[in-house]
Amino acid sequence: MKRILVVNPFGIGDAIFSMFLVEAIRRAVPDAFIGFVCNERTADLARLDASIDGTFVFNRDLFRKLWRQSPLLFYKELKGFLGVLKEARFDTLFDLSLGRQYSLFAMGIGIPDRIGFDFKGRGIFLTRKKKIDGYAGRQAAEIQLELLEAAGLRPDKNNLKLNLSISDAARKAAGHELKSRGFSETDRILALAPGGGKSWGKDARFKQWDPGRFAEAANAFEGHTILLLGDEEERNLLEKTAGFLNAKSLILAGEPIERVSAFLLRSRALLCNDGGLLHLANALGVKTVSIYGPVDEKVYGPFDRIVAHQVVTQDVPCRPCYQKFHFPPCPYDRRCLDHLPAEKVVAALRKVI
């Protein structure tokens, strides 16, 4: 096992969970070359991880577009992508895609050892597999780490830390940006991410606490500058939240992930919904308070237990309803979020900062 390829085509949070697997592999096989296949949204994140030697981007939207235009163009692009992977001469695959395509591709380009999850019988092209019907009972990263046993590895899995490298240039740029907006070096910054759940599409609102309550919680901390973070598509949500704030604020929407990381590192804590920015902050060592609605925090909560964090939920009998990668229709109009008072979140924030 000298050249290892890890595949995770999902969003930021899922990619970060898989990067803990990468870190465990690095501990077990320190001299290995480790490649990482991800989507275009998480590629810049993977490039920040010093334990990843090569990042390979599978742009699913591009391939779908090419297929609609011309199957010939699709196969030409796919051949080029697989050719690059073949040239890297990987001998081992860790497939976290829960599908069958990547292990089929890996077999086709000659990767002999293919390890992954057999979900709904999709592990047909894996040589070593662990049957699952979903993530449950333990934190998702812990479940992924169990694949190491299937590979015959016994690394130290305690206190795994990601080796994210944020450049001095990015850190200085964040400082200059704050200064140019009228903030001082001594300002105490509280970061807010009232969006999240992009991978849920039209159901993203079921993961998002009310923006007015986000502001209400932030307003309880006088003397803080508020940093609002999110995707470009969430700009309206960020602006709406800013309208409820008593303190001065700065909106950063759709920024590169290293730039977001540099701003997070200047923050006392991040208040957010369950989503990618939560796991990014946790991996960076930034304190967090996160709000969980339909998703089980015991499975998808922050993985790094050393970093101070608080998870806030509302005790309603129907949560968590997201189970085994499935979100059923909500008959209660998101009461797991709408019944959650700001006071409960403020108390959690006080604990971490």
Q: Compute the distance between CA of residue 226 and CA of residue 219 in angstroms, rounded to an integer.
A: 9
* Residue 55, beta-bridge partner list: 36
Domains and CATH numbers, the chain: 3-150 (3.40.50.2000), 168-352 (3.40.50.2000)
Amino acid sitting at position 338: D
The DSSP code for 180 is: H
Non-local CB neighbours of 318 within 8 Å, separated by 6+ positions = 332, 335, 336
Reference 53, options 178, 163, 141, 192; nearest CA is 163
In whole angstroms, what separates CA 300 from the centre of its chain? 10
For tokens 């909500």, name the residue.
330
Distance in angstroms between the alpha carbons of the first and the last residue of the chain? 44
Amino acid sitting at position 239: E
pLDDT in tens, the chain (353 residues): 899 999 999 999 999 999 999 999 999 999 999 999 999 999 999 999 999 999 999 988 888 898 899 999 999 999 999 999 999 999 999 999 999 999 999 999 999 999 999 999 999 999 999 999 999 999 999 999 999 988 888 877 778 899 999 999 999 999 999 999 888 878 899 999 999 888 898 899 999 999 999 999 999 999 899 999 999 999 999 999 999 999 999 999 999 999 999 999 999 999 999 999 999 999 999 999 999 999 999 999 999 888 999 999 999 999 999 999 999 999 998 999 999 999 999 999 999 99
The answer to whether 253 touches 230, Cβ cutoff 8 Å, is yes
Beta strand 288-291 with 269-273: parallel, antiparallel or unpaired?
parallel
Residue 202's SS3 state is helix
Query: How many beta carbons lie within 10 A of that of residue 61, not counting itself?
Result: 10
Exposed/middle/buried for residue 145 (C-beta within 10 Å: 0-12, 13-18, 19+): buried
What beta strand segments (E) does 241-322 contain?
249-253, 269-273, 288-291, 309-312
Residue 58's SS3 state is coil
Residue 104's SS3 state is helix
Query: How many beta carbons lie within 10 A of that of residue 141, not counting itself?
Result: 25
Helix (H), strand (E), coil (C) string for 72-83: HHHHHHHHHHHH
The answer to whether 155 touches 28, Cβ cutoff 8 Å, is yes
Amino acid sitting at position 95: D
